[in-house]
């Protein structure tokens, strides 16, 4: 019988807001919202993160910033400082590296760690996990919630259960008992609609679902039925995958006033596509797919996705694909005002000679030529700044 794995999930609590409270002692104990400024931007945009004090008064991430202001005008509203968050993240991940080289980053503020077989070096896993948590607090000044379990799914659920400053352990053999009282929405892949369908069948808790036969769940829900059957029993065989290369790279823009000019939306989408492509080139990645995000003036959000004919890190290619997706959005076709537009490069892979593809002799704008231009622009931006060289269509938008 295979030896049970020892998996840790570490999640920094309210990370962006906590960094701001760390750097600004006057903000400690106060509601802090990181995102747009409700006073300077006419209440546009959403909150990227908020402190637990802000959550206590009904503010949450992705809440429109105007609503956050209405709920708590005394909150501290701060612009994001991504460079600072990245700096703190590196310090946190340096602590992880003392315990294992098997670290799978999920984002800037959370990761899975595989501690299997480290007992001789680190001692019992529970004690090692507690030390790691304490070292983050002592050396970085921030609080983390930790879940320790035999697999990734259980560790992630455990770290979420007792926030902030949580420490929850699931021992081998306790998987079913741990999961049984939790709502079915705790299972990965179970969103509001699936949860409602499960609840109509009497499956309100994970324990309720675990009593169903696998074949019956598969017959009703297909592959999802198989997956939730396994998860309800605490079965998850996925390994921790070190490296944690990003699965997508995206950018979005919220208009100060709902955009009614289609050309303005297209120009913004082009700028975002160029921005995403530059990030891909810096990371040495190419995209095999594109996702478009569009939010209208009524705050209804639609996403559309498509595969690309060939992997690319060229903004023009991403933009062309996004334009095609834009035409498939009903609110766009009916001329509804646009509040937000975004683009994400997906299906990422390392850029190799094969990924670049063979040039087409008769193509009017071959990928190799477009990419050479893009790399030249990158060099100019690196030396003189991002405003030194811009597309002509953006000059009036940025300077006017």
Q: Does 110 qualify as catalytic in the annotation?
A: yes
Residue 60 lies in a domain: yes
> What pLDDT is stored for residue 63 in this prediction?
76
pLDDT at 281: 87
67, burial (CB in 10 Å: exposed 0-12, middle 13-18, buried 19+) = middle
Going by C-alpha positions, the residue among 372, 380, 391 that lies closest to residue 266 is: 391
CATH of the domain at 329: 3.30.1490.100
Q: Same domain, yes or no, for 162 and 304?
A: no
In a domain, 115, yes or no: yes
User: Would you call 326 exposed, middle or buried from its count of C-beta atoms within 10 A (0-12, 13-18, 19+)?
Assistant: buried
Let me know whether 20 and 53 are in one domain. yes
Query: pTM of the prediction?
Result: 0.66
In a domain, 242, yes or no: no
Q: Which of 60-69, 297-306, 317-326, 382-391 has the lowest mean pLDDT?
A: 382-391
Specify whether 46 is located in the same domain as 134: yes
Total domains present in the chain: 3
If asked whether residues 186 and 165 sit together in one domain, one would say no
Bridge partners for 346 per DSSP = 289
Q: Who wins on pLDDT, 250 or 351? A: 250
Full 3-state SS string of the chain: CCCCCCEEEEEECCHHHHHHHHHCHHHCCCCEEEECCCCCCCCCCEEEEECHHHHCCCCCCCCEHHHHHHHCCCCEEECCCHHHHHHHHHHHHHHHHCCCCCEEEEECCEEEEECCCCHHHHCCHHHHHHHHHHHHHHHHCCCEEEEEECCHHHHHHHHHHCCCCCEEECCCCCHHHHHCCCEHHHCCCCCHHHHHHHHHCCCCEHHHHHCCCHHHHHHHHCHHHHHHHHHHCCCCCCCCCCCCCCCCEEEEEEEEEEECCHHHHHHHHHHHHHHHHHHHHHHCEEEEEEEEEEEECCCCEEEEEEEEEEEECCHHHHHHHHHHHHCCCHHHHCCCCEEEEEEEEECCEECCHHHHCCCCCCCCCCHHHHHHHHHHHHHHHHHHCCCCCCCHHHHHHHHC
Is residue 125 in a domain?
yes
Residues 295 and 395 occupy one common structural domain: yes
Are 267 and 140 in the same domain?
no
CATH number of the domain bearing residue 84: 3.30.70.270
Residues 6+ apart with CB under 8 A from 57: 31, 71, 72, 75
Query: Which is the catalytic residue, given 26, 110, 199, 223?
Result: 110
One domain for residues 137 and 185: no
- Mean pLDDT, rounded, for 291-318: 90
Domain presence at residue 263: yes
Query: Are residues 154 and 114 part of one domain?
Result: yes
Return all residues near 82 (Cβ < 8 A) that are at least 6 apart.
none
Asked if 89 and 63 touch (Cβ cutoff 8 Å), the reply is no
Quick one: pLDDT band at residue 400, thresholds 50, 70, 90? very low
Split at pLDDT 50, 70, 90, the class of 355 is: very low
Give tens-digit pLDDT for 210-250. Answer: 999 999 998 988 888 888 999 999 999 999 988 655 678 88
Q: Are residues 151 and 202 in the same domain?
A: no
Q: What is the pLDDT of residues 282-295, one digit of tens each?
A: 878 889 999 999 99
> Which one is predicted more confidently, 394 or 99?
99
187 and 158, same domain (yes or no): no
Domain extent, residue 124, equals 1-172
């Amino acid at each position: 019988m295979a030896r049970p794995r020892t998996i840790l999930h570490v999640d920094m609590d309210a990370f962006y807001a906590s960094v701001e409270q760390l750097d600004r002692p006057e903000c400690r104990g106060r509601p802090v919202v990181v995102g747009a400024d409700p006073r300077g931007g006419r209440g546009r945009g959403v909150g990227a993160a908020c402190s637990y004090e802000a959550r206590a008064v009904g503010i949450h991430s992705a809440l429109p910033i105007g609503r956050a202001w209405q709920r708590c005008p005394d909150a501290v509203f701060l612009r994001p400082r991504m460079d600072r968050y990245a700096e703190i993240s590196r310090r946190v991940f340096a602590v992880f590296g003392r315990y294992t080289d098997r670290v799978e980053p999920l984002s800037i503020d959370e990761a899975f760690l595989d501690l299997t077989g480290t007992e001789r070096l680190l001692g019992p896993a529970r004690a090692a996990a507690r030390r790691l948590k304490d070292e983050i607090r002592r050396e970085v000044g921030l609080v983390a919630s930790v879940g320790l379990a035999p697999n990734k799914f259980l560790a992630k659920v455990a770290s979420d259960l007792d926030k902030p400053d949580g420490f929850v352990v699931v021992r081998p053999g306790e998987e079913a008992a741990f999961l049984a009282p939790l709502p079915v929405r705790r299972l990965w892949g179970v969103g509001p609609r699936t949860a409602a369908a499960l609840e109509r069948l009497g499956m309100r808790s994970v324990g309720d679902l675990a009593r169903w036969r696998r074949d019956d769940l598969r017959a009703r829900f297909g592959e999802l039925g198989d997956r939730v059957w396994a998860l309800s029993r605490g079965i998850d065989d996925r390994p921790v995958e070190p490296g944690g290369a990003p699965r997508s790279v995206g950018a979005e823009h919220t208009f100060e006033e709902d955009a009614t000019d289609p050309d303005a939306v297209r120009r913004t989408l082009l700028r975002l596509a160029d921005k995403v492509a530059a990030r891909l080139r810096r990371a040495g990645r190419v995209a095999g797919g594109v996702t478009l995000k569009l939010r209208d003036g009524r705050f209804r959000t639609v996403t559309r996705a498509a595969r690309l004919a060939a992997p690319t890190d060229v903004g023009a290619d991403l933009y062309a694909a996004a334009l095609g997706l834009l035409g498939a959005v009903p609110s766009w076709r009916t001329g509804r005002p646009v509040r937000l537009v975004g683009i994400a490069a997906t299906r990422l892979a390392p850029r190799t000679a094969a990924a670049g593809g063979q040039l087409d002799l008769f193509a009017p704008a071959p990928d190799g030529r477009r990419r050479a231009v893009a790399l030249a622009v990158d060099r100019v931006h690196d030396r003189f700044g991002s405003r030194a060289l811009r597309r002509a269509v953006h000059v009036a938008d940025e300077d006017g």
